C-alpha cells in the first residue's frame, strides 16, 4: 500500500482488501486519514473510523489524474496536497459503493467480458467499438488491464449490497482476475 504522510495527515493511495484498509485505519487512530476506497462503501468506513475524514476513487485514474473525492470533514490542506501531487480532484457530495465513475466503468467492463464470452467480438474489436463508437478514451479491456481483481472486487461488493444480478461477474472476468 502506498501512503503519503504530511503534518498529521495520511493519504492512502493503495488498492487493498477491505481488511487491509481497515488495518491501516486501526494503525493510525490519531491521524487525519483520506483513503482510496474505489471498491468499497465509504459510509461503512466512516461509521467505524472517526479519523477517516475523506475518501476518493482513483482505480481508473488516467494520465489526466482526475479523481472523485468525498470529504466527511473538509480538509483544505489535504485537498491542496492532492493538487500538489498532480491530481485533479472532483468533489462529490453523495457517497456510494464504487463512487460514480468506477461503478459505471466496471459495469461496462463486465458487459464487455460477457460479449467476449458470447463470441460477439474480439477484445480488440470491443475496445475499438467503444473508442470510436462512443468516443471513450479507452476500451473496456484497456481500462481493466491489470485491474481485473479490483473490477471483480467492486462488482462483488455491489452485488452483496444490492443483490442486483446486473453486478454478477462474467466468467471470463473471474478467470482474468485470478491470473
155: domain CATH number is 1.10.1040.50
Mark whether 12 and 62 lie in a shared domain.
yes
Report d(CA 72, CA 108) in Å as an integer: 29
Mark whether 129 and 66 lie in a shared domain.
no
Note down the domain range covering 131: 101-178
- The pLDDT tens digits of the residues spanning 1-47 come to 488 888 899 999 999 999 999 999 999 999 999 999 999 999 999 99
pLDDT of residue 88: 96
Query: Is residue 112 situated within a structural domain?
Result: yes
Among 73, 2, 1, 70, smallest CA distance to 32 is for: 73
Query: Is residue 96 situated within a structural domain?
Result: no
pLDDT of residue 9: 94
To the nearest whole number, what is the mean pLDDT of the chain?
94
Q: Of 53, 68, 91, which residue sits at a domain end? A: 91
Average the pLDDT over 135-149 and give the result: 95
Percent of the chain with pLDDT over 90: 88
At 81, the pLDDT band (50, 70, 90 cuts) reads: very high
pLDDT of residue 1: 45
Q: To which residue does cell 468506477 refer?
A: 102
Strands 3-6 and 52-57: unpaired
Among 114, 98, 89, 94, smallest CA distance to 151 is for: 98
Average the pLDDT over 46-73 and give the result: 94
Q: What is the DSSP letter of 65?
A: -
Report d(CA 11, CA 105) in Å as an integer: 24
pLDDT of residue 62: 83
Structural domain total, the chain = 2
Q: Which DSSP helix (H) or strand (E) runs through 100?
A: none
Buried residues in 122-155 as b, exposed as e (16+ CB within 10 A): ebeebbebbeeeeebeebbbebbeebbbbbbbbb
Mark whether 81 and 138 lie in a shared domain.
no
Average the pLDDT over 92-116 and give the result: 95
Mark whether 43 and 84 lie in a shared domain.
yes
Amino acid at each position: 500500500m502506498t501512503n503519503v504522510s504530511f503534518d498529521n495527515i495520511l493519504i492512502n493511495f493503495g488498492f487493498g482488501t477491505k481488511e487491509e484498509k481497515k488495518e491501516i485505519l486501526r494503525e493510525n487512530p490519531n491521524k487525519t486519514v483520506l483513503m482510496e476506497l474505489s471498491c468499497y462503501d465509504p459510509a461503512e468506513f466512516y461509521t467505524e473510523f472517526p479519523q477517516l475524514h475523506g475518501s476518493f476513487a482513483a482505480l481508473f485514474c488516467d494520465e489526466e489524474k482526475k479523481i472523485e473525492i468525498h470529504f466527511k470533514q473538509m480538509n483544505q490542506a489535504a485537498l491542496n496536497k492532492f493538487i500538489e501531487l498532480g491530481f485533479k480532484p472532483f468533489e462529490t457530495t453523495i457517497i456510494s459503493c464504487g463512487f460514480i465513475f468506477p461503478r459505471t466503468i466496471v459495469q461496462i467492463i463486465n458487459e464487455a467480458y460477457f460479449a467476449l464470452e458470447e463470441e460477439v467480438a474480439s477484445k480488440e474489436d470491443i475496445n475499438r467499438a467503444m473508442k470510436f463508437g462512443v468516443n471513450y478514451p479507452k476500451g473496456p479491456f484497456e481500462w481493466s488491464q491489470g485491474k481485473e481483481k479490483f473490477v471483480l472486487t467492486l462488482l462483488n461488493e455491489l452485488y452483496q449490497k444490492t443483490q442486483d444480478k446486473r453486478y454478477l461477474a462474467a466468467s471470463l472476468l473471474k478467470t482474468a482476475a485470478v491470473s
